[in-house]
Amino acid sequence: IVKHKKAKDSPMPVADSGQKMTRTQKRKFDEINTTTSADVDPTTAALEHEREQATKVKNIQCVELGCYEMDTWYYSPYPEEFSKCSKLYLCEYCLKYFRKAKTLDRHKVKCEWRHPPGDEIYRDGNISMFEIDGKKAKIYCQSLCLLSKLFLDHKALYY
């Protein structure tokens, strides 16, 4: 059993061992110590409740990226026409998303990209890491954020 306490100089709760809490422990801690609706004005409380209801249920069940098919974990704010389909198809190079596999196949013929935009900064065998400038590849970065949000519960998206 781990008992939690706050460090003297840190607002972040820590376990008795002095280590920071895990995400699950922090989420439970935050649930217990959240502000009540009495502390917030009615308009803000109503907007927050509406957002919570909209994001409770994941909208896209599955994503196909290249030869991989992945079940999603969380809600992601894809445009409405895409969020209503259960499976989303993504181009593995430019991350453009489609509702139908045929549309993706047509796109693959036209897509000139063979790697992410930006500079390759690391390579080990068949694994590469790219540094991407968000100002130069805005659409790619937005698509990457939407994709990552399907697998991360607490990710803020800014466009």
Query: What percent of the chain is predicted at pLDDT more than 70?
Result: 79
pLDDT at 158 over 80: no
DSSP-derived letter for residue 141 is H
Question: What are phi and psi for residue 70, nearest 5 degrees?
Answer: -125, 135
Distance CA(115)–CA(77), nearest Å, equals: 25
Confidence of residue 109 (pLDDT cuts 50, 70, 90): very high
Collapsing DSSP to helix, strand or coil, 115 comes out as coil
Q: Per residue in 35-71, pLDDT tens? A: 555 567 888 878 877 777 766 677 899 999 999 999 9
Distance CA(123)–CA(125), nearest Å, equals: 6
Collapsing DSSP to helix, strand or coil, 142 comes out as helix
Please answer whether residues 84 and 153 qualify as being in contact, where contact means their C-beta atoms are separated by less than 8 angstroms: no
Distance CA(87)–CA(71), nearest Å, equals: 9
pTM metric for this prediction: 0.66
